[in-house]
Amino acid sequence: MNETLAINAAPSALDPLVRVNGVTLQYKTPDHLVTATYRVTFEIDAGDRLVLLGPSGCGKSTILKAIAGFIKPVEGDVRLRNKIITGPGPDRMMVFQEFDQLLPWKKVLGNVMYPMTINGISESEAKARALDAIDKVKLSKFVDVYPHMLSGGMKQRVAIARAMAMKPDVLLMDEPYAALDALTRRKMQDELLQLWDEVGFTLVFVTHSIEEALVVGSRIVVLSPHPGQVNAEVNCQHMGQDFRDTPEFQALAKRISRMLFDDAPTAS
């Protein structure tokens, strides 16, 4: 969309930043073995806004958790800069759907600073970076407030600021706006895009809303219903909020909707 963006978006090496390679993920419960995703493959380039889109229960969160390093694939691997991911780490910060991801015992500033201070960033630099990130999500007035006094949307903004301030290689967001009202959600989507314009990070964004996927993403990986497999990859680089009413947007939305609902393999 603009100059800085093009620079930031350029891949730094020949390899993609993240490669999800034939990943099968399973949960072991006491009496079941649940296959959440089956041989999922996609790549994330630096500067991507990659959206994982699929119906509820298709394994989107599970894929995100695998990238974050919480779950090990039973088949295939997930690589960051060509190195296999073995566990969670601050180079892949995650923003969750739940509002309780903030530490209730720390004020907004403390919450944003915490991951930095425990990772050996000096107090003063952490503070400067935290204040900057909080400013970017427009919460400067609430620096000294405990999370329980914030609205849901504000809490999500703090979580985003906390993740951004760490300057992770990838920002993982798991339906971060799903629990918000429609108005706030729209505003938050705009803010996220604006932030991306300013900072130029790499984003993996999970949603089950086609519209949200089109607005937020630059590329969409469409997953089939449970167990999730990659159904399609769609480009939507130029579909901002302003495009919602264009025929182009509607057509693409319809196309994706057909993928999701019509030729879905009969789910169990």
Partner 1 sequence: MTDLSHRFAPSPRPEFERKVTAPAELGDVAKPLSMVERIVNISAVRRGVILVFIALFWEVYARWLNNPLSFPTFLDTLEALRDGIASGIIPQRLMITLQTLVAGYFIGLVIAAILTSVAVTTRIGTDLLATLTAMFNPLPAIALLPLALLWFGLGRPSLIFVIIHSVLWAVALNMHSGFLAVSDTLRMAGRTFGLRGLRLVIGILIPAAFPAILSGLKIGWAFAWRTLIAAELVFGVSSGQGGLGWYIFENRNTLDTAAVFAGLLTVMTVGLLIEAVIFRFIEARTVRRWGMQRG
Coil, helix or strand for 253?
helix
Is 29 one of the binding residues for partner 1 (CB under 8 A)? no
Strand ranges across the sheet with 83-84: 32-44, 18-29, 75-80, 83-84
Q: Of the two residues 136 and 226, which places its CB atom closer to Mg ion in the complex?
A: 226
**Minimum gap (Å) between residue 93 Cβ and partner 1:** 6
| Residue 115 in the binding site for partner 1 (CB under 8 A) | yes
CB nearer ligand ADP, residue 2 or residue 29 = 29
Q: Which of residues 37-56 bind ligand ADP (CB under 6 A)?
A: 54, 56
Near partner 1 by CB under 8 A: residue from 55, 88, 200, 240: 88
Residue in 18, 58, 113, 166 binding ligand ADP, rule: CB under 6 A: 58
Regarding 66 and contact with ligand ADP (CB under 6 A), the answer is no
Residues between 57 and 86 with contacts to partner 1, criterion CB under 8 A: 65, 68, 70
CA distance linking residue 129 with residue 117, whole number of Å: 11
Assess contact for 144 and 172: CB atoms under 8 A: no
The pairing of beta strand 18-29 with beta strand 32-44: antiparallel
Give the residue with the Cβ less far from ligand ADP, 73 or 115.
Answer: 73
What angle is formed at CA 109 by the lines to CA 104 and CA 115, rounded to 5 degrees? 80
> Does 30 interact with partner 1 (rule: CB under 8 A)?
no
Identify what 29 binds: ligand ADP, Mg ion, partner 1, none; CB under 5 to 8 Å per kind. ligand ADP
* 231: nearest Cα among 67, 47, 78, 59: 59
- 61 is a contact residue toward Mg ion (CB under 5 A): yes
Closer CB to partner 1, 27 or 70, in the complex: 70
User: Which partner, partner 1, Mg ion, ligand ADP, none, binds residue 59 by CB below 5 to 8 Å per kind?
Assistant: ligand ADP
**Binder of residue 88, out of ligand ADP, partner 1, Mg ion, none (CB less than 5 to 8 A by kind):** partner 1
> Measuring CA to CA, which residue among 56, 175, 82, 251 is closest to residue 234?
251
Pairing of strands 75-80, 83-84: antiparallel
Q: For residues 170 and 202, is the Cβ–Cβ distance under 8 A?
A: yes
Q: Does 61 participate in binding ligand ADP (rule CB under 6 A)? A: yes
Q: How far apart, in Å, are the Cα atoms of 59 and each of 222, 234, 240?
A: 11, 19, 26
Q: Which of 205, 182, 180, 170 is nearest to 61 (CA)?
A: 205
Give the gyration radius of the chain's Cα atoms.
Answer: 18
- Residue of this chain nearest to ligand ADP (CB atom): 61
Nearer to ligand ADP, 62 or 231 (CB): 62
Mention every residue, 6+ apart, whose C-beta is less than 8 A from residue 247: none
Binding mask 37-56 for partner 1 (x = CB under 8 A): --------------------
78 binds ligand ADP (CB under 6 A): no
Contact residues toward partner 1 (CB under 8 A) are 65, 68, 70, 87-90, 92-94, 96, 98, 100-101, 103-105, 114-115, 118-119, 146-149
